[in-house]
Chains A and B, each alone.
Chain A
Amino acid sequence: MKISTLAQQLINTYQRGFPLCSRPFLQLAEQFNVSENEVINCLEQLEQSGVLSRLGAVFNHQQAGASTLAALKVSAQKLDKIAAIVTSFTGVNHNYAREHEYNLWFVITASDQSQLEQTIVAIEQATQYQVLVLPMEKSFHIDLAFTIDFEHENKQNAAVKNNATLRVDSLIDQGIKV
């Protein structure tokens, strides 16, 4: 996938601090010496190709509602089935299979603590597994906002192809928070 210079600049400059004004794309256009339309088109293409999951606010789950990290210890042959049940809950917004005794990891969000607890109970009932509940007690670094290294593009693509064990069934959106 070829990522244009403008796209790289936009992504690496605006992992935070996107201008808060009525014509934000115009401001970006002036900064990068292109037209407002070019900025908008570039971002549109990035969203369509999936390189950008979105442009906008990254919300703090703790303050916008309640959330917790949670895990299940599922027998290997049941993993897909149980994972599908967990994913079907609307409050579950990340769900990863991981290499560990606790092999299914997900984040549960809810509008408040009591709804969160209800969801945990509902997941336990639906899966018949006890949920390991690991709420955040303190956070040291909460943003996935590191500088992207756009080099070695070809190497990465080869790596994706060669990595047969890593199957991505549904990469719906992004905003890694786990």
Chain B
Amino acid sequence: MNNQQAISPLERQYILLTQQGLPLCAKPYHAIAEQLNISVQQTLAITKSLLDRGVIRRIAAVPNHYKIGYIFNGMTTWDIQDDKAIEYGEKIGKLDFVSHCYLRPRHLPQWNYNLFAMIHAKDATQLEKYKAQIKEILSDVLQTHQGKSHSVLNSTKILKKTGLRLNKKRS
């Protein structure tokens, strides 16, 4: 990401204005353009540029998975060999029940897991099956820095959940 273009003040305003979603009206980008005091063409161009640069990942109908019945989510965490981490991370990221898959740093001795994969299911049995499937794939590269090679942290309570919220610019 070396040639990443910085976010301009106008783009920042755009993000602040749209991070809670597009207005549901026939001409949503007109509504945004009006508020930004720019043309519709400019608004569409900004959106496209943010998409091309990866600042916007996708434009989507973002469902509340919990409401649709995906009430079980598990953050599975794994201690895998560092030299195989990218190769196996890619395999896990491709599984269709994995929503997010990341490498994160270990903090020994408190935290020895370097691979994170979020899984979602409609019931506990399905969640268990998914976990077993990941374990099977990772079986050759699992290791134990401190006794356990993996852990599944089921959520017991959702305390706060919002999309990206940039703070208003500090003066």
Q: Quick check: A172 and B160 within 8 Å, CB to CB? A: yes
Closest B residue, CB atoms, query A49: B67
Residues on A with C-beta less than 8 A from B155 are 96-98, 166
Question: Is B103 located at the chain interface by the 8 A CB criterion?
Answer: yes
**In the complex, per-residue mask of B6-28: 1 if CB is within 8 Å of any chain A CB, else 0:** 01000000010011111011111
A84 to B159 CA separation, bound complex (whole angstroms): 8
Q: Which chain B residues lie closer than 8 Å to A92 at the CB level?
A: 160
Question: Nearest chain A CB to B80's CB is how many angstroms away?
Answer: 12
**Measured CA separation A57–B49 after assembly (Å):** 13
Q: Considering only CB atoms, which chain A residue lies closest to B59 in the complex?
A: A18
Q: Contacts of A173 on B, CB cut-off 8 Å? A: 20, 161-163
Q: Is A23 an interface residue (CB 8 A)?
A: yes
Beta-carbon contact of B62 and A171 below 8 Å: no
Across-interface contacts of B94 in A (CB, < 8 A) = 140-141
Asked if B101 and A141 make an inter-chain contact with CB atoms under 8 angstroms apart, the answer reads: yes
How far does the alpha carbon of A9 sit from the alpha carbon of B118 in the complex, in Å?
A: 25
Q: Is the CB of B163 within 8 A of A65?
A: no
CB-based contact B160/A52 at 8 Å = no
Contacts of A156 in B (CB 8 A): 68-69, 71, 122
Given contacts A99-B154, A146-B97, contact A57 B56 (CB under 8 A): yes
Complex Cα spacing A177 to B164, Å? 9
List B contacts of A14 (CB < 8 A): 60-61
Partner of A15, one of B19, B47, B61, B98: B61
Whether B161 and A63, one on each chain, are in contact in the complex, defined by CB atoms closer than 8 angstroms, is no
A interface residues, how many (CB within 8 angstroms): 102
Query: Which residues of the other chain, A, contact B57 by a CB distance below 8 angstroms?
Result: 57-60, 142-143
Q: Which of A59, A142, A169 contacts B157 (CB 8 A)?
A: A169
Collect the chain A residues with CB atoms within 8 Å of residue B101's CB.
Answer: 139-141
Complex-state Cα separation, A18 to B102, whole angstroms: 26
Contact for B15 among A25, A64, A105, CB less than 8 A = A64
Give the docked Cα–Cα distance between A57 and B164 (Å).
10
Q: Does B63 contact A (CB under 8 A)?
A: yes
Q: Provide the residues of chain A in CB contact with B54, threshold 8 Å.
A: 60, 63
Q: List residues 83-124 of chain B with CB under 8 A from any CB of chain A.
A: 85-86, 89-90, 92-94, 96-105, 107, 110-111, 116, 118, 120, 122-123
Interface residues of B (CB under 8 A from A): 1, 4, 7, 15, 18-22, 24-30, 40, 44, 47-48, 50-51, 53-69, 71, 73, 75, 85-86, 89-90, 92-94, 96-105, 107, 110-111, 116, 118, 120, 122-123, 151, 153-167, 169
15 contacts between A and B (CB under 8 A): A22-B29, A40-B25, A51-B63, A52-B62, A53-B64, A55-B60, A59-B19, A93-B164, A100-B151, A140-B89, A140-B90, A168-B66, A168-B157, A171-B64, A172-B162
Beyond A63-B54, A87-B160, A160-B69, 7 additional contacts (C-beta under 8 Å) are: A15-B61, A40-B25, A57-B59, A132-B111, A134-B107, A167-B157, A168-B158
